[in-house]
Amino acid sequence: MSTQQITQELRQWIIAQATAGQAPEAVLKSMLASGWNEDVAVAALEDTLNGFLAGHAQANGLPPPVVVPEPVLVEGAVALQAGDREVQVLATLRGPRVVVFGGLLSHDECDEMVELARTRLTRSETVQLDTGGNEINTARTSDGMFFAREENPLCTRIETRIAALLNWPLENGEGLQVLRYRPGAEYKPHYDYFDPAQPGTANILKRGGQRVASVVMYLNTPARGGGTTFPDVNLEVGPIKGNAVFFSYDRPHPMTRTLHGGAPVLEGEKWVATKWLREGRFE
């Protein structure tokens, strides 16, 4: 098996499967069933698809795709080990890449995070892309604060867990942001990546490159409302205490279909902690 060669015919077959709509997992499963060594099959699949996607992007004037965080999901797995904690896999979506995790945080961790953040809350801001600074925006009607990366033992434990779960270096993550949404508060649909067309983006990218993934963790369960919505695919994730939704975007472009928002809280409060992951080390 170790002498198997990645031929042009194999690459053409992989591309044909991809253009026919086959998911990478299905293509890999078919290759393994045909007798391909797993390491050779994975290398052939990744190399071929990355090259194909980059060429397709260039031909159509799109940003090329980059490697993004991704949990190792064995087919049919209902749980994953995330360092110090087992996490449930509640739902997955391939396009856009979305995974809903159950029990990423314990209830005690959620409560501790809320109390650590409560006295530091201010009106939430958004990135001002024409300058690279921050501004208050009517699209975001929450209160929030940022922890520095590994600011305290709780942050370190959660960030280490996320790094293990998503196979992404801890130092490539921004510090955790905690938000509180009161009744009626929301965050209208938006993208988390930084728009390359905006003049302030170049300065933002100096601190670790583009954002490539987001993890939204629910620190409580509001009485009603407050779900995380993905309008392009008509998906809404319920805000259940301890659970989280992960989504990645391999290029700063709407084709990733990662438009998302925080639906209005209709009753009670919603508390969330968000972790953004960058291409490189975030300083």
On whether both 42 and 123 belong to a single domain, the answer is no
- Of 208, 213, 181, whose CA–CA distance to 283 is shortest? 208
* Residue 70 resides in a domain: no
pLDDT digits (tens, 9 = 90+) for 155-213: 999 999 999 999 999 999 999 999 999 999 999 999 999 999 999 999 999 999 999 99
On whether both 256 and 185 belong to a single domain, the answer is yes
On whether both 234 and 186 belong to a single domain, the answer is yes
On whether both 208 and 245 belong to a single domain, the answer is yes
Q: What CATH number does residue 106 fall under?
A: 2.60.120.620
Structure tokens at 110: 């959620």
- Largest interatomic CA distance in the chain: 63
On whether both 223 and 147 belong to a single domain, the answer is yes
CB 279 within 8 A of CB 210: yes
* Residue 132 resides in a domain: yes
How far apart are the C-alpha atoms of 148 and 116, rounded to whole Å? 13
How far apart are the C-alpha atoms of 101 and 200, rounded to whole Å? 34
On whether both 170 and 270 belong to a single domain, the answer is yes
Element (H, E) at 54: helix 38-59
* Residue 68 resides in a domain: no
On whether both 108 and 184 belong to a single domain, the answer is yes
* Residue 168 resides in a domain: yes
* Residue 110 resides in a domain: yes
Tell me the three state secondary structure of residue 42.
helix
3-state SS of 122-167 is EECCEEECCCCEEECCCCECCEEEECCCCCCHHHHHHHHHHHHHHC
Give the chain's domain count: 2
* Residue 74 resides in a domain: no
On whether both 125 and 238 belong to a single domain, the answer is yes
The residues near 126 (Cβ < 8 Å, ≥ 6 apart) are: 134, 135, 136, 137, 139, 140, 190
| Domain span at 55 | 8-59
* Residue 1 resides in a domain: no
What does pTM read for this prediction? 0.78
* Residue 32 resides in a domain: yes
pLDDT by 10s per residue, the chain, length 283: 457 888 888 988 998 888 787 777 888 899 999 999 888 888 888 888 777 766 766 666 777 889 999 999 887 789 999 999 999 999 999 889 999 999 999 999 999 999 999 999 997 765 555 554 555 555 567 899 999 999 999 999 999 999 999 999 999 999 999 999 999 999 999 999 999 999 999 999 999 999 999 999 999 999 999 999 999 999 999 999 999 999 999 999 998 999 999 999 999 999 999 999 999 999 9
On whether both 36 and 116 belong to a single domain, the answer is no
On whether both 262 and 211 belong to a single domain, the answer is yes
82-119 exposure pattern, b = at least 16 Cβ within 10 A, e = fewer: beebebebbeeeeebbbbbbbbbbeeebbebbbebbee
Tell me the three state secondary structure of residue 13.
helix
How far apart are the C-alpha atoms of 123 and 80, rounded to whole Å? 36
Alpha carbon separation from 247 to 147, 180, 207 (Å, rounded): 21, 21, 21
pLDDT, position 1 = 41
Alpha helices in 152-235 (DSSP H): 153-166, 201-205
How far apart are the C-alpha atoms of 85 and 104, rounded to whole Å? 8
On whether both 41 and 152 belong to a single domain, the answer is no
Tell me the three state secondary structure of residue 239.
coil
How far apart are the C-alpha atoms of 240 and 221, rounded to whole Å? 5
On whether both 231 and 194 belong to a single domain, the answer is yes
- Of 72, 73, 3, 76, whose CA–CA distance to 37 is shortest? 3
45-59 exposure pattern, b = at least 16 Cβ within 10 A, e = fewer: beebbeebbeeebee
